[in-house]
């Protein structure tokens, strides 16, 4: 507080109330800590009664009394902790800040976390359940009650189940969560109905990791690393953005060096010690050249390779006549990778050979402290993108940095699995709309092919739930989605569960408002670092009401309007589907605490927390139940650090001498491999058939891809060999750190920061095309085109263009006004069968509303919807959609306007067929649909894995 003495003029002005009285007696708040010390967060013992100055009252320093309630951010997968400040007088949430008790985010958030406040206060949000009135897609809606919704949907599902049309009931998730919750629901219903967005996101990278070690994600220990290699912009916008970014910076502050492979000079690349602007799809060539250097210069970790890699099988495969010795193995892999010279890698990638050599040596020297990550980017962009992850992990394997301090851990070690109070049996169905025979190794469902598979006559859906999922806008080939969603003979009932309007919800029968971060229950746990944690998402106003002595039956009673949450929705729906109890569903929703009664949401979480390792004891120390502990702190650290879990000892009873194969370092029981011997003890090993890291993948060979049995470089569909002279690569996958996919549309702060997605191009390309920054350009894909503005920059690799995919949101004239911070108003017309046009009729602009900020909108450019002009490109091995596009860039044609889009869905169907023809379908060995050992979400009963049911 200033001790300034008011001037005469100030005193008069204060007395006349022309300015606030700034010099009267003020009852000052005590400091949180002693003067000179710093703290960022109110102490938890004051969270129920916290007073601070009201920011909007400025110098008047009015006070506000809050209840501080933790929850979990819902704006990306990272699941960072948030603290919600609830005004005790008005019972409104005023702001969100970081939760310092969250082990992943440690009190920090990216811009998207605090922006949750915009989303919950957005005037355009959906507040009540809506039912379609006119034709599907007509934009006419009426408000209905939750009871009507539940009864109608339950009746339709009940009929489908009774008629054994169980593959017609499908739940399709965009933003996941719930840690196993929906699996329990679907398995209780007995349907093979889980579909996800993974194949447009991470299936490529996941497959590359899974065939090495079972676990399908990397969990890098960046904070303790000596060398960090990132494929793409993870520091700025990548996977687990904020939790990873803070640990990358920590690692660098402790001396780690950072290398980044990225076509763009992203913010991450600009922070790196080495920027390697690889040509898209060439990353595996550069990585194998590094592997070759590590092998040739003997920088590898011999002990790790010897104990933990299936080198004997690898050697036998490479040279069946060779004597099985480790030296012979090294000699054979040297030969295998001899062609991947730094010069070859330079030719493919454009990165100087000298840089590749230098980075390889640094990785080799970092040894067990080498951490790395590869997620969407290269793994998601290219035919054979999965090979990038496989080759990147090869560097971890060579250096022995798998599961070590400062290394890269298998994800499963760091992800918590909650206990279920009742486990429904695995379903006895196999849904070929999700796992068609053509893709036996696909990592997760072939979700983006759904419209094509329906068009191909392979099935139909009776009830289709889309959960926080917007394929019309986020997926490739959105017009094929519009065609499918508009056809009631293909999709009987479409239920959109969504916190905000989106382009897919326009084509629903029910639009059901589901809560945001502070409006729902949920549980998250992710591999953000070497520890293991759980985070509790909770409906904050319901918890505030409880603390004030008001009990609530359903969460929508305390949320804005009648916004609900999915947990309770699924409980209620399941109960009503099985109205007589004859379907066997209700038995999985009975309270573990009250005999024969329906479980409540509190009981569901109570059971999980009571069965979370270490939580009951920690809670008891504070005199709390486990549930109350989670309500209070919002997160719990299950394990502080999890390293070298493959070394966990195995206690094997009645071990006979003949069970131990000392030469191979293996223990078998009745012929089955049960442990690996390392340092003289039996160890659990990795989650693969060999319990080791699988350099030679027998699975890949047995399932029809022998050429990919070892880590290799797969030439992408955007390799220059495949291009005509006027074609270039479009990289459409890069992210902006301040935007979510669909849900930033109702955040004014985020839209104010980022509201354009121009086409990045290098100066030399712009000169070649005669284009300047701001010029309109037409970008033609295989199935259509879009019109965008150019942004000419040196921060882009020549002969590659890039466009961020977050922007280009739209609403049609007939749709409810929504997301007006970010949506253009458009007209869509099918001019001939399959020939679709979209153009902007009104851009973004200021308007009057209850929120004064709507009249301050200064941006007009809502960007361009590029994804809708892309055909599907399913990788024949991993099933990943290969996002990168072969395009022609030219000056806009006469009459072209910014935001114009044209697509021919007949062509997109032809391209689907072309890529389908590249597959090598099941059955595989023993008549299997897919390998038994590879993970599959919502795993069916084992008999269902056989094409001919056994």
Structure tokens at 265: 């000079």
Structure tokens at 337: 């990778």
Angle between helices 566-577 and 146-162 (to 10 degrees): 50
Nearest to 607 by CA among 180, 946, 279, 246: 180
Closer to ligand SF4 by CB, 47 or 96: give it: 96
* Helix (H) or strand (E) run with residue 78 in it: none
Beta strands in 781-834 (DSSP E): 784-793, 800-802, 809-812, 823-832
109 near ligand SF4, judged by CB under 6 A: yes
Q: Which one of residues 78, 642, 675, 901 is an interface residue with ligand SF4 (CB under 6 A)?
A: 78
Angle between helices 386-399 and 203-213 (to 10 degrees): 40
506 near ligand SF4, judged by CB under 6 A: no
CA separation for the pair 158, 162 (Å, rounded): 6
CA separation for the pair 403, 647 (Å, rounded): 10
Q: How far is the CB of 85 from ligand SF4 (least distance, A)?
A: 16
Q: Are 359 and 276 in contact (CB under 8 A)?
A: yes
Closer to ligand SF4 by CB, 105 or 196: give it: 105
Region 256-285 residues binding ligand SF4, contact defined as CB under 6 A: none
Binding window for ligand SF4 (CB under 6 A); candidates: 103-111, 223-231, 559-567, 701-709? 103-111
Q: How far is the CB of 376 from ligand SF4 (least distance, A)?
A: 15
295 near ligand SF4, judged by CB under 6 A: no
Q: How far is the CB of 809 from ligand SF4 (least distance, A)?
A: 18
CA separation for the pair 70, 89 (Å, rounded): 19
Binding window for ligand SF4 (CB under 6 A); candidates: 104-112, 332-340, 508-516, 816-824? 104-112
Structure tokens at 84: 């919600």
- Alpha helix stretches (DSSP H) within 350-493: 353-366, 376-381, 386-399, 450-455, 471-474, 478-486
73 near ligand SF4, judged by CB under 6 A: yes
Closer to ligand SF4 by CB, 113 or 403: give it: 113
Q: How far is the CB of 754 from ligand SF4 (least distance, A)?
A: 13
CA separation for the pair 288, 477 (Å, rounded): 34
Binding window for ligand SF4 (CB under 6 A); candidates: 73-81, 321-329, 502-510, 640-648? 73-81
79 near ligand SF4, judged by CB under 6 A: yes
Closer to ligand SF4 by CB, 110 or 170: give it: 110
Region 574-603 residues binding ligand SF4, contact defined as CB under 6 A: none
Q: Are 354 and 361 in contact (CB under 8 A)?
A: no
Query: What is the end-to-end Cα distance of the chain in Å, rounded?
Result: 79
Lay out the site mask for ligand SF4 across 27-66 (x = CB under 6 A, - = otherwise): ----------------------------------------
Closer to ligand SF4 by CB, 111 or 316: give it: 111
Binding window for ligand SF4 (CB under 6 A); candidates: 110-118, 313-321, 346-354, 414-422? 110-118
Q: Any residues with CB less than 8 A from the CB of 361 and at least 6 apart, and which?
A: 293, 297, 299
Closer to ligand SF4 by CB, 195 or 242: give it: 242
Closer to ligand SF4 by CB, 524 or 788: give it: 524
H and E: helices and strands count for the chain:
27, 34
75 near ligand SF4, judged by CB under 6 A: yes
Structure tokens at 738: 């301040």
What is the length of the chain? 950
Angle between helices 601-610 and 626-633 (to 10 degrees): 100
626 near ligand SF4, judged by CB under 6 A: no
Q: How far is the CB of 234 from ligand SF4 (least distance, A)?
A: 11
Q: How far is the CB of 378 from ligand SF4 (least distance, A)?
A: 21
Binding window for ligand SF4 (CB under 6 A); candidates: 102-110, 135-143, 455-463, 546-554? 102-110
Binding window for ligand SF4 (CB under 6 A); candidates: 42-50, 106-114, 777-785, 942-950? 106-114
Q: How far is the CB of 113 from ligand SF4 (least distance, A)?
A: 3
Residue 273 CB-density burial (10 A; 0-12 exposed, 13-18 middle, 19+ buried): middle
212 near ligand SF4, judged by CB under 6 A: no
468 near ligand SF4, judged by CB under 6 A: no
Q: How far is the CB of 112 from ligand SF4 (least distance, A)?
A: 3
Q: Which one of residues 86, 110, 286, 363 is an interface residue with ligand SF4 (CB under 6 A)?
A: 110
Q: How far is the CB of 734 from ligand SF4 (least distance, A)?
A: 17
112 near ligand SF4, judged by CB under 6 A: yes
Phi-psi region of 532 (alpha: psi -120 to 50; beta: other; left: phi over 0): beta
Binding window for ligand SF4 (CB under 6 A); candidates: 32-40, 72-80, 136-144, 202-210? 72-80
Closer to ligand SF4 by CB, 310 or 535: give it: 535
Closer to ligand SF4 by CB, 498 or 908: give it: 498
113 near ligand SF4, judged by CB under 6 A: yes
CA separation for the pair 306, 520 (Å, rounded): 49
Q: Are 211 and 700 in contact (CB under 8 A)?
A: yes
> Measuring CA to CA, how many Å separate 817 from each of 305, 516, 809, 849?
60, 20, 13, 12
CA separation for the pair 685, 682 (Å, rounded): 9
Q: Any residues with CB less than 8 A from the CB of 691 and at least 6 apart, and which?
A: 666, 673, 675, 676, 684, 685
Kindly state the number of chain residues that form the binding site for ligand SF4, as judged by CB under 6 A.
Answer: 13
735 near ligand SF4, judged by CB under 6 A: no
Closer to ligand SF4 by CB, 233 or 511: give it: 233
Phi-psi region of 834 (alpha: psi -120 to 50; beta: other; left: phi over 0): left
Other Cβ atoms within 10 Å of 764 Cβ, number: 13
Nearest to 854 by CA among 95, 54, 127, 118: 118
Closer to ligand SF4 by CB, 107 or 459: give it: 107
CA separation for the pair 840, 856 (Å, rounded): 22
Separation of CA 261 from chain center: 20
Separation of CA 18 from chain center: 53
CA separation for the pair 552, 556 (Å, rounded): 9
Q: How far is the CB of 467 from ligand SF4 (least distance, A)?
A: 18
Closer to ligand SF4 by CB, 414 or 574: give it: 414
Closer to ligand SF4 by CB, 96 or 945: give it: 96
Q: How far is the CB of 114 from ligand SF4 (least distance, A)?
A: 8
Coil, helix or strand at residue 308: helix
Region 230-249 residues binding ligand SF4, contact defined as CB under 6 A: 241-242
Separation of CA 669 from chain center: 40
Other Cβ atoms within 10 Å of 49 Cβ, number: 11
80 near ligand SF4, judged by CB under 6 A: yes
Q: How far is the CB of 572 from ligand SF4 (least distance, A)?
A: 28
Binding window for ligand SF4 (CB under 6 A); candidates: 54-62, 105-113, 353-361, 529-537? 105-113
Closer to ligand SF4 by CB, 76 or 359: give it: 76
Question: What phi and psi values does residue 306 have, to the nearest 5 degrees?
Answer: -65, -45
Q: How far is the CB of 74 from ligand SF4 (least distance, A)?
A: 7
Closer to ligand SF4 by CB, 179 or 578: give it: 179
Q: How far is the CB of 73 from ligand SF4 (least distance, A)?
A: 3
Binding window for ligand SF4 (CB under 6 A); candidates: 38-46, 69-77, 181-189, 484-492? 69-77
CA separation for the pair 675, 122 (Å, rounded): 56
Site residues for ligand SF4 per CB under 6 A: 73, 75-76, 78-80, 105, 109-110, 112-113, 241-242
């Amino acid at each position: 507080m200033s001790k300034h003495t008011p001037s005469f003029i100030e005193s008069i002005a204060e007395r006349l109330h022309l300015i606030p009285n700034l010099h009267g007696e003020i009852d000052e708040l005590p400091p949180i800590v002693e003067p000179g010390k710093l703290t960022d967060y109110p102490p938890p013992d004051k969270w129920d009664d916290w007073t601070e100055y009201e920011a909007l009252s400025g110098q008047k320093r009015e006070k506000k009394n809050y209840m501080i309630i933790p929850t979990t951010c819902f704006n990306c997968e990272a699941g960072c902790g948030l603290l919600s400040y609830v005004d005790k007088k008005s019972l409104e949430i005023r702001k969100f800040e970081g939760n310092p008790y969250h082990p992943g985010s440690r009190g920090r958030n990216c811009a998207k976390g605090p922006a949750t406040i915009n989303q919950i206060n957005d005037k355009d949000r959906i507040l009540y359940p809506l039912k379609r009135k006119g034709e599907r897609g007509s934009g006419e809606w009426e408000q209905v009650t939750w009871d009507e919704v539940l009864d109608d949907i339950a009746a339709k599902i009940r009929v489908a189940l009774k008629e054994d049309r169980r593959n017609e009931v499908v739940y399709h998730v965009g933003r996941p969560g719930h840690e196993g919750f929906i699996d329990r629901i679907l398995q209780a219903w007995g349907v093979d109905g889980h579909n996800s967005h993974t194949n447009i996101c991470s299936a490529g990278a996941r497959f590359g990791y899974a065939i090495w070690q079972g676990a399908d994600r990397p969990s890098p220990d960046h904070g303790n690393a000596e060398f960090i290699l990132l494929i793409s912009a993870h520091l700025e916008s990548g996977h687990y953005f904020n939790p990873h970014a803070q640990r990358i910076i920590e690692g660098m502050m402790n001396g780690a060096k950072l290398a980044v492979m990225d076509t763009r000079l992203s913010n991450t690349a600009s922070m790196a010690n080495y920027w390697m602007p690889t040509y898209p799809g060439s990353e595996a060539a550069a990585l194998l050249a590094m592997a070759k250097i590590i092998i040739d210069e003997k920088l590898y970790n011999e002990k790790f390779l010897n104990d933990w890699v299936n080198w004997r099988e690898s050697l036998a495969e490479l040279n069946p006549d060779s004597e099985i010795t480790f030296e012979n193995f090294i000699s054979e892999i040297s030969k295998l990778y001899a062609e991947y010279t730094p010069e070859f890698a330079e030719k493919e990638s454009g990165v100087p050979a000298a840089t590749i050599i230098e980075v390889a040596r640094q990785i080799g020297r970092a040894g067990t402290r080498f951490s790395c990550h590869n997620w969407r980017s290269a793994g998601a962009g290219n035919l054979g993108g999965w090979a990038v992850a496989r080759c990147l992990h090869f560097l971890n394997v060579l250096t022995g940095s798998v599961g070590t301090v400062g290394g890269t851990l298998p994800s499963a070690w760091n992800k918590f699995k909650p206990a279920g109070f009742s486990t429904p049996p695995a379903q006895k169905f196999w849904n070929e709309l999700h796992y068609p025979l053509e893709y036996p190794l696909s990592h997760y469902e072939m979700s983006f092919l759904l419209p094509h598979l329906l068009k191909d006559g392979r099935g139909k859906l009776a009830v289709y739930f889309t959960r926080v999922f917007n394929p019309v806008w986020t997926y490739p080939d959105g017009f094929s989605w519009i065609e499918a969603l508009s056809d009631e003979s293909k999709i009987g009932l479409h239920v959109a569960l969504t916190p905000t309007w989106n382009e897919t919800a326009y084509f629903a029968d029910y639009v059901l408002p589901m809560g945001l971060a502070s409006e729902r229950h949920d549980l998250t746990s992710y591999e953000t670092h070497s520890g293991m944690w759980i985070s509790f998402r909770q409906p904050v106003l319901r918890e505030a009401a409880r603390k004030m002595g008001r009990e609530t039956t359903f969460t929508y009673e305390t949320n804005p309007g009648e916004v609900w949450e999915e947990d309770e929705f699924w409980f209620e729906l399941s109960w009503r589907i099985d109205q007589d109890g004859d379907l066997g569903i209700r038995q999985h929703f009975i309270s573990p605490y009250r005999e024969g009664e329906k479980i409540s949401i509190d009981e569901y979480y109570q059971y999980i927390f009571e069965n979370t390792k270490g939580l009951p004891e920690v809670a008891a120390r504070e005199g709390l139940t486990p549930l109350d502990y989670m309500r209070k702190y919002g997160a719990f650290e299950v394990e502080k650090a999890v390293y070298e879990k493959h070394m966990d000892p195995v206690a094997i009873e009645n071990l006979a001498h003949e069970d131990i194969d000392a030469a191979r370092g293996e223990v078998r029981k009745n012929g089955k491999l049960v442990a690996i011997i390392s340092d003289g003890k039996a160890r659990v090993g990795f989650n693969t058939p060999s319990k080791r890291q699988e350099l030679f993948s027998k699975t890949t060979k047995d399932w029809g891809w022998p050429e990919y049995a070892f880590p290799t470089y797969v030439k992408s569909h955007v390799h220059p060999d495949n291009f005509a002279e006027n074609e270039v690569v479009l990289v459409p996958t890069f992210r902006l750190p301040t935007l979510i996919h669909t849900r930033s549309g109702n955040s004014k702060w985020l839209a104010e920061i980022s509201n354009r997605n121009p086409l990045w191009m290098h100066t030399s390309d712009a000169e070649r095309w005669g284009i300047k920054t701001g010029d309109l350009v037409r970008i033609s894909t295989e199935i259509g085109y879009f019109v965008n503005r150019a942004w000419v920059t040196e921060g882009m690799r020549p002969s590659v263009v890039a466009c961020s995919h977050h922007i280009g949101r739209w609403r049609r004239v007939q749709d409810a006004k929504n997301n007006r911070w970010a949506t253009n108003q458009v007209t869509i017309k099918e001019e001939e069968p399959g020939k679709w046009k979209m153009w902007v009729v009104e851009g973004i602009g200021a308007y009057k509303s209850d929120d004064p900020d709507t009249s301050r909108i200064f941006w007009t450019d809502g960007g361009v919807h590029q994804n809708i002009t892309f055909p599907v490109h399913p990788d024949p091995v991993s099933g990943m959609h290969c996002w990168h596009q072969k395009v022609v860039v030219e000056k806009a044609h006469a009459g072209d306007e910014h935001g114009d889009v044209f697509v021919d869905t007949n062509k997109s169907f032809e391209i689907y067929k072309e890529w389908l023809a590249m597959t090598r379908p099941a059955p595989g060995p023993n008549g299997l649909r897919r390998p038994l050992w590879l993970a599959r979400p919502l795993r069916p009963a084992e008999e269902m894995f056989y094409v001919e049911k056994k």
